[in-house]
Structure 1
Amino acid sequence: MKKILISACMLGDRVRYDGGHHLINHPTLQRWHKEGRFVPICPEVAGGLSTPRPPAETQCKFPILITTQDGNDVTPEFLSGAERTLEIAKREGVACALMKAKSPSCGNKRIYDGNFSGNLVEGSGVAAAELMRNGIPVFSEKELPELFAFIEDSERMTA
């Protein structure tokens, strides 16, 4: 049985910046949760940020700079959370990750542009990028069919 790292907000944990969650009610995900496949993490909380917290966006990729809308630098917390996320993923031997789209930590393909205007740009959040750099595929809630196929294929290959 393959383990899957998952953004804790997707399991209903109130860890989002606004104190909310992003629970996903899907029968396959519910079954996997009951089977104990999920390894939940909120990289931002793991990095020391509180809930609720001011929204943050990536201002610069090289060198990385993540700030809140009022200019507070939260880069160290985001980087620490990304490191802890990778450590947990490796320790638990996850096959892949299901992470929140568009997040400065968890987004796998597109993130907000840093202007707090709702515009998206190509790129990954710091935790998702760290996982992918280390060979762990990252899917978002917008890619559930791809996630399901990945798990099915990887379990068929190890059966």
Structure 2
Amino acid sequence: MILVSACLLGHNTKYNGGSNDHPLLIKYNELGKFVAVCPECLGKLPIPHPPSEIIGGSGKDVWTEKAKVISNQHHVVTANFIHGAERVLEIAKQYKIKAAILKERSPSCGVHQIYDGTFSDKRVSGEGVATALLRKNEIAVYSEEEITEKLLQKLLDENHA
């Protein structure tokens, strides 16, 4: 089994109530080899909710309390993001997950990039809160932007999904 951001599979879990449909992942979802998760939903944030960004670093820094997650309404939502990431890890352990495909630039799921915390649409290198926790627990994390049919088939084969 492979962990996948629910929004990529057509679930309306995006902060604004929409989804980030990824046609290839939706096609392969029919095989029943994915476990859909949304760290923000699992962190008890409503859908929709105000957009959030990491201030002072990346998801890795959130875990060491060097950074925090705030909404564009200036509410600190770090606890929601931490709780959601912990729930995602619990699910990953339950299913013996070794790989995840997550939504790039999300403050939860960003793999290579996140937004810089100024709500100005500026991207920086970094990872989201859930991605950092999964990596810390030796789960390989891929962005939907790097997924090709060849890589997806390789991941399915490697993970005996």
Q: Under a length normalisation based on structure 1, what TM-score does the superposition of the two structures give?
A: 0.89
Which of 68, 71, 85 is matched with 1:68 structurally?
71
Are the counterparts in 2 of residues 139 and 147 from structure 1 also a CA contact under 8 Å? no
Q: After superposition, what is the alpha-carbon deviation per residue over 1:29-82, rounded to whole angstroms, capped at 9, x for unaligned? A: 345312210100000010010000000000023423000112100000000001
Number of aligned residues = 152
1:148 positional shift: 2.2
Q: Does the residue aligned with 1:13 lie in a helix, a strand or coil?
A: coil
Partner of 1:94: 97
Let me know the Cα RMSD of the aligned residues. 1.7
Does 2:118 match 1:122? no
For 1:118 and 1:138, the matched residues in 2 are separated by 23
User: Larger relative contact order (C-alpha < 8 A, sep ≥ 6)?
Assistant: 2
Gaps of 5+ in 2: none
Q: Does the residue aligned with 1:79 lie in a helix, a strand or coil?
A: helix
Partner of 2:114: 111
Does 2:55 match 1:59? yes
Change (3 A) 1:69 1:30: closer
The sequence identity of aligned pairs, in percent, is 41
For 2:127 and 2:37, the matched residues in 1 are separated by 17
Which of 3, 16, 21 is matched with 1:23 structurally?
21
Gaps of 5+ in 1: none
Quick check: 6-15 or 55-64, which moved more?
55-64
Q: After superposition, what is the alpha-carbon deviation per residue over 1:95-128, rounded to whole angstroms, capped at 9, x for unaligned? A: 2001000000000111000000111111100001
For 1:56 and 1:107, the matched residues in 2 are separated by 12
Are the counterparts in 1 of residues 115 and 124 from structure 2 also a CA contact under 8 Å? yes
For 2:142 and 2:35, the matched residues in 1 are separated by 14
Q: Does the residue aligned with 2:147 lie in a helix, a strand or coil?
A: helix
1:149 positional shift: 6.0
For 1:32 and 1:14, the matched residues in 2 are separated by 18
1:93 positional shift: 1.1
Q: Under a length normalisation based on structure 2, what TM-score does the superposition of the two structures give?
A: 0.88
1:5 is matched by which residue type in structure 2? L
